[in-house]
Homo-oligomer: A and B are copies of this chain.
Amino acid sequence: MESQENPPAHPAALCIFPARYERHNFSTMTHHEFRAHAHQLADWMADYFENIADYPVKPDVKPGDIKAQLPAGPPLQGEAFEAMMADFQNIILPGMTHWQHPQFFAYFPTGLSGPSVLAEMLTAAMGAQCMIWYTSPAAEELEDRVMEWLREMLGLPSDWVGVIQDTASTATLAALIIAREKATAWAVNKEGLYTAPRLRVYASAQVHSSILKDVRIAGFGEDNLVFIPTDDNYAMIPEALEQAIRNDLAQGFRPACAVAAMGTTSSTAIDPLRPIGEICRRHGVFLHVDAAYAGAALLLPEMRWMSEGMELADSFVFNPHKWMFTNFDCSAFYVRDKAALLRSFEILPEYLKTPEDRLVNNYRDWGIPLGRRFRALKLWFVIRSYGVKGLQAKIREHIRIGQWLAQAVDEAPDFERMAPVPLNLVCFRYCPEGHYSDEALNRINESLLQRLNASGRILLTQTKLNGRYVIRLVAGQTDANLEAVQRGWEMIQEVARGEEGRADAFNPHD
């Protein structure tokens, strides 16, 4: 019966259908066709992995080149899958930077692996939305279990709880929100920052740019992000943190959060956790550890010096999608205080209530977005395929390669290593004979990097350390191997020295 209280739908909606509505074939691709195409793509994927070294790492395209090849408007009628695949091959693929290329040494990698890609196939087919237990119980419980595994594998405190986020930026934003709320007894969530004391956030001057962005998003204001000086290793100086906190307290500010970097983006500098943690504890400051890349090294007992003092921290983020062979996106976020996390993010509208709410983890309340992909599956596949020992062997090998390159740079008379190499990121610059100013060297190295990357045979990126332009080489891509790094290092030297007048390095037959 039609409710008295509820008027009918908008008239425009109710009369748009003719009495006799013709039945279409609504499926754009039959199951039979899908099966055939999926097999084609299975081969495409395997071929891609087999041949990836033959692609240019970075495409030789200019802004607008790709877009110009794509029609200005959408097709009215559906097209055959073959037409799309042809365009993918001819237009898209030649315009991609190949992150899985063995000569990809740029940024930090987003390394994947066969088992991870296979898990992504299952995830894509099921298309489950894993916002709460009820909407995918197995996904929730697998995530729970796998995050316990990973906690143990990394040697994190056993009473911490973990959840998968998309990226470290988002996880760090979540940490900042928890810190903000704890510092104000959840008053900001309720009243906003208007009546709060001025909350301060501390991070080393080398910290990732996402911290600044997150500080803005969470409403702290970038003026309240205090950059702490670093030592010669580019690691935070704990005494400087202590001093900054004291200064702020003297001015009536409230120190709320510190972010310690375990592996900065510029040079994988490792902030000393124990002294930082002790200072934070003393002042009631929430300590978040950003180990987005370097966290993978905690798989190695011999690298646990990096996490010495971790039990003093409040939260921790590490991206298996960077250096643990798991498809992007997969960011592991751990917190000490589950209740504080939930209190900061929990919201329970009627349409999301389920009978099991009190018995389960509803990960919707463990971070920013409501909707969530089934990300635990790929992490499970990766850990089980490699086993802990297999993962350790790979990470050890990558660090060994990094150490090899560090030594090679040290031994080259015309190159300068620019930062310590605790892992597998080597920062260096070319310093040809003669007396060049830092400014001149900056120009020389910027030009060197551009020529190297333009070759399509290698991809490196830059940073600045103490105002000096520095080239970064990261040997953490899944297939990173000593031979590839040796080839890369040879090429770097040849191109550098060729530029400086030794043209024979370019063409030895001249």
Chain B residues, CB < 8 A from A48? 125-126
Q: Does A10 contact B (CB under 8 A)?
A: yes
A249 CB–B CB distance under 8 Å: no
Given A31-B50, A136-B96: A370 touches B37 (CB 8 Å cut-off): no
Question: Could you say which of B16, B76, B120, B416 contacts A389, with CB atoms under 8 Å apart?
Answer: B76
Task: Give Cα A46–Cα B93 distance, bound, in whole angstroms.
Answer: 26
The answer for the CA separation of A59 and B214 in the assembled complex, in Å, is 39
**Nearest residue in B to A15 (C-beta to C-beta)?**
B302
What residues on B are CB-neighbors of A152 within 8 Å? 73-74
Contact assessment for B221 and A384 in the assembled complex, using a CB-CB cutoff below 8 Å? no
Contact B6 A232 (CB under 8 A): yes
Residues in chain B near residue A79, CB distance under 8 A: 384-385, 387
Contact of A127 among B99, B129, B415, B417 (CB under 8 A): B99
On whether the beta carbons of A191 and B399 are closer than 8 Å, the reply is: no
- Residue of chain B at shortest CB distance from A35: B46
For chain A residues 249-270, which have a beta carbon within 8 Å of chain B? 265-266, 270
Query: With A and B bound together, what is the CA distance between A353 and B106 in angstroms?
Result: 12
Closest to A325 in B: B28
| A 287-343 contacts with B by CB, 8 A | 300, 302-303, 305, 321, 327-329
The interface stretch among A193-201, A274-282, A485-493, A495-503 is: A193-201
A12 to B303, CA, bound (A): 7
Q: Is the CB of A124 within 8 A of B120?
A: yes
* Contact among B350, B352, B403 for A14, CB-based, below 8 A: B403
A209's nearest neighbour on chain B, judged by CB, is: B349
A31, B49: Cβ atoms closer than 8 Å:
yes
Copies held by the complex: 2
Decide yes or no whether A435 CB sits under 8 A from chain B.
no
A124/B117 contact (C-beta < 8 A), A74-B149, A217-B217 known = yes
Known pairs A124-B327, A138-B92; A38 contacts B28 (CB<8 A): no
Give A152-171 interface residues, CB cut-off 8 Å to B.
152-153, 166-170
Of the residues B24, B198, B328, contact of A194 by C-beta under 8 Å: B198
* Residues 42-69 (chain A) with a chain B CB within 8 angstroms: 42-46, 48-50, 58-59, 61, 63-67
Residue ID in chain B nearest A189 by CB atoms: B216
Judge whether A114 and B33 touch: CB under 8 Å: yes
Judging by beta carbons under 8 Å apart, are B39 and A39 in contact?
yes
A463 and B137 alpha carbons, distance in the complex (Å)? 21
User: Is residue A148 contacting chain B, with contact meaning CB distance below 8 A?
Assistant: yes
Give the number of chain A interface residues (Cβ < 8 Å).
Answer: 205
**A9-28 toward B: CB 8 Å interface, digit per residue (1/0)?**
11011101100010010101
Query: Is the CB of A285 closer than 8 A to any CB of chain B?
Result: no
Q: Is A203 an interface residue (CB 8 A)?
A: no
Complex alpha-carbon distance, A367 and B33, angstroms? 37
Report the separation of the CA atoms of residues A48 and B61 in the bound assembly, to the nearest whole angstrom: 40
- B63 pairs with A29, CB closer than 8 A: no
On whether A126 and B96 interact (CB within 8 A), knowing A191-B223, A194-B221, the answer reads yes
Closest Cβ–Cβ distance, residue A290 to chain B (whole Å): 12
Contact of A28 among B170, B233, B390, B450 (CB under 8 A): B390
The verdict on A440 contacting chain B, using a C-beta distance below 8 Å, is: no
- Tell me if A413 is interfacial: C-beta within 8 Å of chain B: yes
Return the chain B residue nearest A88 by Cβ. B122
30 residue pairs of the A-B complex, CB under 8 angstroms, read A1-B414, A1-B415, A6-B417, A6-B420, A16-B399, A17-B396, A17-B400, A29-B115, A34-B49, A39-B43, A48-B125, A64-B141, A65-B141, A74-B153, A75-B384, A84-B381, A91-B138, A97-B136, A98-B128, A100-B126, A106-B135, A112-B125, A112-B127, A120-B124, A124-B327, A168-B370, A169-B370, A177-B216, A193-B219, A329-B373
- Report, nearest first, the 4 A-B pairs whose CB atoms are least far apart: A219-B219, A192-B221, A95-B138, A35-B46
